[in-house]
A and B are shown apart, each in its own frame.
Chain A
Amino acid sequence: MSSKNLKITTYIPNSSKTAFFSSLVAILKDIKPAHELAVRLFKRDITSQYRESFLGFFWVLIPPLLTSGLWIFLNNNSIINVGATDIPYPLFVIIGTILWQIFAEGINQPLVSVRANKGMLTKINFPREALLLSGFYSILFNLGPKMFVLAIAFYFYKIEPALSLLYFPLGVLMTSLSGFAIGLLLTPIGLLINDVSRGIGIILPFAMYLTPVIYPEPTNGNVALLMHYNPLATLVTSTRDWFSGHLTYIPNEFTFLAGLTFLLLIIGTLAYRISMPIITERFGG
């Protein structure tokens, strides 16, 4: 054992002037171990989840399918009238709700993953980002069955495969990441006070109805104005239109949102890293 080149770790009171830069370096250094641990935690969670369940994947699919079913039923029976859609309404609503589900999972996952491992946080020094990554890996994993349903719908409604379909995975990823970025930014505060997760639970369904998930984007009126300023509308509509082949390019708004999402992800990860010791302190245990 060579004692000359041992790594020295120094702990001093929060010295905020260098916090941002040093945290960024620390995060980058931890990426590899964090990824390894995250894969392990992800496998652990998924294996135990499915070993304990007979219905398995069914639970990933049931929320969007139920919502879709409800709206298809209401629309077919003319109880509500969402207006004309450029693709068959069932297809429209299935894509919409699945995309929304992906977004919502993105928002919830960071807080859920970190909370689930609260006990470990107060006892063991491991790269904290592993919890975020393992959460993101489960999101990716859960995309599988959802994409399967969309593939069936694609086949069933005999959509002409267009080149724009190549943009579709990008849309799905950005939908998920934008949710994740928001969730990540809320995580430090959400870990301390549970009002945050409660708030998310109430605001999310509400936000769904302000986004063209189950009805097409109107062209005029107050709702149209609202949609214009709702970034989620851009995400959902663009992604859906790429799927159906009605949009053949990447709109500028989408590019802007993607840039914003990445910026928020970086800020969120930094804020998470910096605030984790403070949160660990308050957790006790």
Chain B
Amino acid sequence: MNNDEVLVNVEGVSKKFCLDFKKSLWYGLKDISSAVLGIQSKAELRKSEFWAVKDISFTLKRGECIGLIGHNGAGKSTLLKMLNGLIPPDEGKIEMKGRVNALIELGAGFNPILTGRENIYNNGSVLGFSKKEIDDKLDAIIEFSEIADFIDSPVQNYSSGMKVRLGFAVAAQMEPDILIIDEVLAVGDIGFVLKCFNRIDAILQNSAIIFVSHSMPQVARICSEILLMDKGKAKYQGNNVSEGIDQYYSQFKIVNGNLSDSKKASVSKLLINGQEPDPNAYLPIDRLSDLVLDIEFNVAEDYSTPELYIAFLNKDMTNVAEFIRDDITQSLSNRQGKISIRLTIPKIQFSKGLYSITIGLLANRSGEILFRQQSIAHFQVIAEHNLWAPFQLHGQLEQLEDLI
């Protein structure tokens, strides 16, 4: 097999989109009549139109996977629709070589009244399998889905996860030259998602994949190239997947967290690595460098020995790490309503990504919360590798001379 063969060739592709619904319908009617009557329509923007996709180019060979990332509305889905041949580009040219399959909606063609088994045929037909192909693959599909017990009950009784399983099990039988995947692995339990990824890895051996996802660990896992889109344009494009993901993360607007203000305590000053945090930006911190927090609290004088609590949340607002003091005999002491502390966390081992800091002050070790503010400050960990896990542990690996 020739692995240098270019399967996807996208050259300067653009697509217009109309925001105004009534106008969009009107333009649609005009476009239909000019298309049917054979009149060439112009590429210029009409009133209320904008470029949903502008001037995108890339090529993809067999065995390569491009990750399309970007905010909602960046133009990813529109680009996918063009690649999938659902809508034509307004400018540019797309060449797709070989059999193209799309994993854009799992379980398309399902009818809720019918059984899982019947719907395998419906979904398979929609994806372009012949009846015989489905007959041959039926057992494999049911086995992959792991829902053999429910295969003869109506799909309307399935949970959403089960529908995804069945949908993916059918789609997993595809043997495309080009595979388009759009955010379909968001549902489903982690075990199944990993199974899907293994299948995608297998498909990738023989095909080119265009992968759209908001899950950067997933993107990092399979993509060899990144196209970061912003307002229809390519903001970053290249083989440095890490760089692309970093740029994607840095586009995020910061959501400042809730303050539970009991009037008993407040933060009067906060420094991260000696800098005052900008509430609207992520402070870049290199992995394995020290994180130093200087915090000054105002605390009501009734609370003589309060205790500090720090938590780190990732982009999905999951609590990934906490700090509490190991030594329970020690405590902070309230000095005329003020407490200043310095917390040093050496060699942070967070993996690449965005994190926020939650600061809390308790009346004592397990006491009343005097102060708690979620996402009081934000930082971005700059690292080389992308991981699924929130931590990339620092360790030393050496090969031993002798067997143990």
Contacts and interface: CB of A to CB of B under 8 A. Distances in A.
Interface of A: 1, 3, 6-17, 19-20, 33, 36-37, 40-41, 44-45, 47-48, 51-52, 119-126, 188-189, 192-193, 270-271, 274-275, 277-282
16 contacts: A3-B5, A10-B96, A11-B93, A12-B93, A12-B94, A13-B89, A14-B31, A16-B35, A40-B125, A47-B113, A51-B113, A119-B105, A123-B86, A125-B102, A270-B36, A278-B32
Contacts of B36: 270-271, 274-275
B188 interface: no
A193 B37 CA distance: 20
B81 A280 contact: yes
A16 B126 contact: no
Contact of B121 (A6, A13, A40): A40
Given A1-B1, A119-B108, A281-B28, A14 B41 contact: yes
Interface in B171-185: 177
Interface in B112-149: 112-114, 118, 121-122, 125-128, 130-131
A45 B94 CA distance: 35
B88 interface: yes
Given A47-B114, A119-B108, A125-B102, 13 more contacts: A1-B1, A3-B5, A6-B98, A10-B94, A16-B41, A41-B109, A44-B114, A47-B113, A120-B105, A123-B108, A124-B102, A125-B100, A278-B35
B238 interface: no
B128 A126 contact: yes
Contacts of A119: 105, 108
Nearest to B13: A11
Contact of A37 (B100, B126, B206): B126
Contacts of A47: 113-114, 118
Interface in B1-60: 1-2, 5, 7, 24-25, 28-29, 31-32, 34-41, 43
B90 interface: yes
B84 interface: yes
Given A44-B111, A275-B36, A192 B104 contact: no
B81 A192 contact: no
Contacts of B127: 124, 126
A136 B177 CA distance: 34
Contacts of A270: 36
Contact of B88 (A13, A45, A123, A188): A13
A17 B131 CA distance: 37
B40 A279 contact: no
Contacts of A40: 121-122, 125-126, 131
Contacts of B93: 10-12
Interface of B: 1-2, 5, 7, 24-25, 28-29, 31-32, 34-41, 43, 62, 81-82, 84-100, 102, 104-105, 108-109, 111-114, 118, 121-122, 125-128, 130-131, 177, 206
Given A40-B125, A44-B111, A7 B118 contact: no
Contact of A281 (B87, B99, B100, B122): B87
A11 B82 contact: yes
Given A120-B108, A124-B108, A278-B28, A6 B128 contact: no
A120 B95 contact: no
Contact of A123 (B32, B90, B104): B104
Nearest to A267: B36
Contacts of B87: 277-278, 280-281
B88 A37 contact: no
Nearest to A49: B113
A1 B98 CA distance: 11
Contact of B86 (A13, A48, A280): A280
A281 B121 CA distance: 28
A11 B35 contact: no
Given A44-B122, A278-B31, A278-B35, A8 B97 contact: yes
Contacts of B29: 189, 192-193
A123 B84 CA distance: 9
Contacts of B95: 8-11
Contacts of A6: 7, 97-99, 177
Nearest to A281: B87
A48 B38 contact: no
A129 to B, nearest CB: 14
A13 B91 contact: yes
Contacts of A279: 28, 32
A165 B125 CA distance: 39
A11 B24 CA distance: 22
A3 B114 CA distance: 39
B97 A124 contact: no
Contacts of A19: 35, 38
Given A3-B5, A44-B118, A126-B126, A192 B88 contact: no
Contacts of A45: 111
A274 B99 CA distance: 22
A138 B206 CA distance: 40
Given A44-B109, A275-B32, A280-B86, A17 B40 contact: yes
Contacts of A41: 109, 122, 125
Nearest to B101: A125
A122 B32 CA distance: 17
A124 B25 CA distance: 22
B88 A193 contact: no
Contact of A122 (B24, B81, B98): B81
Nearest to B24: A282
